Structure 1
Amino acid sequence: LNGIFRGDLGPSYKYLDRGVSDIVAETFPVSALLGIFALVFALAFSFPVGICAAYYHSSWTDRWCLLIATLGISLPHFILGALLIWLFSIQLGWLQAGRWEGFTSVVLPTVTLGAAPAAYLSYLLRSTLLETLAEDFIRTARAKGLRESAVLLKHALNNSLIPTLTVLGPLFAALITGSFVVEYIFAIPGMGRFFITAVTDRDYPLIMGVTLVYTVILVCANLLVDLFYSLVDPRIKSY
């Protein structure tokens, strides 16, 4: 325990020339950068899709948005990653795969890692917006003559963000600590890839070190989400 509080996570059974702290310090920034890119992609995709699907409920726009979200949830990482590599790297030659350097090598793993969270957040935002749009205060806002964009974005969206924020805490922790499938497919030297290697090699100190890092990040992310609750809904401050 004394070593943990000093940042010393012990030696690695496999990498004898490096300690667990050195491996985490080397691989975590890579996984964190990929996770942040994936989270930004998920948010940038899910908000427009979720809002459009809720606003044009039961229309063809809603059906297309749901179809795209369903594909994002259904496709596993290894299938989506392989398809993206085949299309954009092998066939078209637009983007790089198998290296972690430059913008062109970041796009494919970002989309692969962020596709499922983007689709899930789209579903969640659509369902919460539909519930909010049926509330009495939305009808009152429309009766006052407010523009539909103001009703949707200012009143309905603000009151629909609590479930989305609840999901973002563990989602953020999971993304920035690495996805071993995505990192393995795209040969990214991240923490998730080292974690799976440690499991197969029975490198128990490295397994415990990565698990500890993930736990700390998860707790901090959930605390930040609790703080953001009061910013989204001021009524929570009174509790």
Structure 2
Amino acid sequence: MRARLPIALMVVGTGCAPAPPQDDRSVEPGTLLLASSLDGLQTVTSPEVGSGVDAAVWTQPPDHFVQSLDGQGLLLDADGQWLRFLADDPDSERPNLDLHHGTLSLWMRPAFPVLDGQRRHLFAALDEEGRGLRIAKAGRDADNALQVELVDTAGRVHLTSVEADQIPWLLLAWERVRIGWDASGDAEQNVRIWVDDVELVYAQTTADAVAMPSLPEDAHLYVGAWGIEDDHALRATLDRLEIWAGIVPPD
């Protein structure tokens, strides 16, 4: 039986005891938390910065690293393929991800056109109820928009979106995607998005404080999918992954 991805509900979650607040290990904005060249499996399990404990790649064939932008890169070319890291290894000096504020930077060579009408999952860090951070290119039902969702403790979705005609992704062309988020309510907007160091034009933004959930100790951040079994995988070659604390604009 295929495991289902968690779905954010529009109601308050169950009364289970929450995990220890992630704020206990919060870090200063601008701190590099995780960095991997994605040159091979060893660069995933032993990243340059951050923890590789329980990090994994799931591809077919296994460990499908190919010639890429700079050395090797990871090819995800079918549903159910992904790259993952623990969101927070408790034995590490710092977490790999701060769900309250951060920046994802990733080189990507998409194997699909933006207007393909298919949903493509780029990144997620979620609890068991599907609350947390989700990034996707929408399908035909949402006009292929790029969507970044902060899902709060009550399951409410705080959406930032960019219309498809404003997404400068080209089929089989390398693009540097940088997405920053800040749930504090202190920033002008919760999410900012750049492609090749140029900030995109937004169709929808939010700026309120968002009560982000605490992730359980075994929670992972997924790249190229939202979870282990995902029928909306990214289908792209990936290179040079970085995750920072705080919103870090391009240099």
Higher normalized strand content (fraction of residues): 2
Give TM-score, length-normalised by structure 2: 0.25
Give TM-score, length-normalised by structure 1: 0.26
From the CA coordinates, give the structure whose radius of gyration is larger: 1
Higher normalized helix content (fraction of residues): 1
